[in-house]
């Protein structure tokens, strides 16, 4: 399977990269790990005249922590995120999602920026990032903006990012004492599998260690984009956390899911699984919040 022809750009500086994108508006594709883009180009789903590789840009593969926020460079690979102790401790759901994406070979190339910009409804890093309250940092030749992930996805493969914009990072609150998150993925196989349903949960407890200050539940593969469950959030916030409360939140999440029937599973089955996986993800998050 051959790749179509294109000109390759390998900018070493961000302003250079943004200038190339501005110059070739709509004709240029950004290349990170290539595990989505090159597959699509081989299948002739896209045929960009220009490809802009991000591998030479400095700092794009870094993790920084400042003022309680984690700043993830867009070129961080799934392997790096899954193995990094800081991410495992402070953004557990993301490390767990990154660790079950594709296969070892795919994880060594697949980047967080690629996962977010590719915007698949079941993406293993998008669903955790949504639950963790992440924000996309976009930059173009004309300026920068920050978009919460809850407003970033528009549909399968569609986001608010314009062709001239580069995702320059993902920002999220770093977890600490009383904060925890969890991730659950259901597939038909243990590896190399796109989720049939995936759920990430985030819980932050008040100082009393039992009242829920903030909670978010993100659902994958049950809507055209990864979605947050407002029902689960409402059920949990301000309440004393318990197994029973978690069960109620899971029910609310299942009610918020909008799954469809497809060749991979029925809508009914998916809704049932949202219930089960939300319960497990919340239990994971609660346990992690209690441990710190």
In the block, residue with structure tokens 């100082």: 207
Instruction: Work out whether 102 is an interface residue with ligand FAD (CB under 6 A).
Output: yes
Instruction: Work out whether 124 is an interface residue with ligand FAD (CB under 6 A).
Output: yes
> Do the beta carbons of residue 75 and residue 55 sit within 8 Å?
yes
Q: Distance of CA 4 to CAs 52, 54, 100, Å?
A: 15, 19, 31
Q: Which is nearer to ligand FAD, 63 or 255 (CB)?
A: 63
In the block, residue with structure tokens 């990430």: 200
CB atoms within 10 A of CB 106: 16
131 binds, among ligand FAD, other proteins, none (CB under 5 to 8 A by kind): none
To ligand FAD, the closest distance from the beta carbon of 133 in angstroms equals: 19
Among 72, 91, 110, 249, binds ligand FAD (CB under 6 A): 110
Cα Rg of the chain (Å, integer):
19
Instruction: Work out whether 111 is an interface residue with ligand FAD (CB under 6 A).
Output: yes
- Enumerate binding residues for other proteins (CB under 8 A): 1-8, 10, 31, 33-35, 38-39, 42-43, 51, 53, 55, 79, 102-106, 108-109, 190-192
To other proteins, the closest distance from the beta carbon of 226 in angstroms equals: 22
Distance CA 85, CA 70 (A): 13
Q: Are strands 50-53 and 28-31 parallel, antiparallel or unpaired?
A: parallel
Nearest to 232 by CA among 223, 245, 243, 222: 245
Among 17, 37, 134, 253, binds ligand FAD (CB under 6 A): 37
Distance CA 191, CA 84 (A): 21
191 binds, among other proteins, ligand FAD, none (CB under 5 to 8 A by kind): other proteins
For 231-242, the DSSP string reads HHHHHHTTSBP-
To ligand FAD, the closest distance from the beta carbon of 165 in angstroms equals: 7
Local structure of 290: helix, strand or coil: helix
To other proteins, the closest distance from the beta carbon of 11 in angstroms equals: 13
Instruction: Work out whether 106 is an interface residue with ligand FAD (CB under 6 A).
Output: yes
To other proteins, the closest distance from the beta carbon of 78 in angstroms equals: 12
Q: Which stretch binds ligand FAD (CB under 6 A): 106-114, 170-178, 240-248, 250-258?
A: 106-114
Among 167, 228, 254, 282, binds ligand FAD (CB under 6 A): 167
To ligand FAD, the closest distance from the beta carbon of 97 in angstroms equals: 8
To ligand FAD, the closest distance from the beta carbon of 26 in angstroms equals: 12
Nearest to 158 by CA among 126, 206, 134: 126
Instruction: Work out whether 219 is an interface residue with ligand FAD (CB under 6 A).
Output: no
CB atoms within 10 A of CB 292: 13
Longest pairwise C-alpha distance within the chain: 61
Q: Which is nearer to ligand FAD, 113 or 178 (CB)?
A: 113
Distance CA 75, CA 215 (A): 28
Which residues bind to ligand FAD, rule: CB under 6 A? 29-37, 39, 54, 74, 101-102, 106, 109-111, 113-115, 117-118, 123-124, 166-167, 192-194
């Amino acid at each position: 399977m051959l790749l179509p022809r294109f000109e390759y750009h390998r900018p070493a500086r961000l302003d250079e990269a943004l200038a190339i994108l501005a110059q070739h508006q709509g004709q240029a594709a950004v290349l990170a790990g290539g595990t989505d883009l090159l597959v699509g180009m081989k299948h002739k789903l896209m045929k960009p005249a220009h490809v802009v590789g991000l591998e030479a840009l400095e700092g794009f593969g870094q993790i920084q922590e400042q003022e309680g926020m984690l700043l993830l460079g867009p070129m961080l690979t799934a392997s790096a995120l899954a193995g990094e102790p800081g991410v495992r401790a402070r953004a557990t759901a993301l490390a767990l999602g990154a660790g079950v994406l594709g296969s070892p070979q795919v994880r060594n190339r697949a980047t967080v920026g690629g996962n977010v910009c590719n915007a698949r409804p079941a993406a293993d890093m998008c669903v955790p990032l949504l639950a963790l309250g992440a924000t996309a940092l976009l930059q173009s030749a004309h300026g920068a903006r920050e978009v919460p992930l809850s407003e970033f996805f528009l549909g399968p493969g569609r986001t608010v990012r314009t062709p001239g914009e580069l995702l320059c990072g993902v920002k999220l609150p770093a977890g600490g004492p009383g904060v925890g998150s969890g991730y659950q993925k259901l597939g038909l196989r243990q590896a190399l599998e796109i989720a049939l349903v995936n759920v990430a949960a985030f819980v932050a407890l008040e100082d009393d260690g039992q009242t829920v200050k903030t909670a978010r539940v993100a659902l994958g593969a049950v809507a055209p984009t990864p979605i947050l469950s407002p029902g689960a959030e409402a059920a949990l916030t301000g309440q004393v956390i318990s197994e029973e409360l978690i069960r109620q939140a899971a029910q609310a999440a299942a009610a918020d899911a909008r799954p469809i029937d497809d060749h991979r599973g029925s809508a009914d089955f998916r809704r049932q699984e949202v219930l089960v996986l939300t319960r497990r993800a919340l239990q994971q998050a609660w346990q992690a919040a209690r441990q710190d």
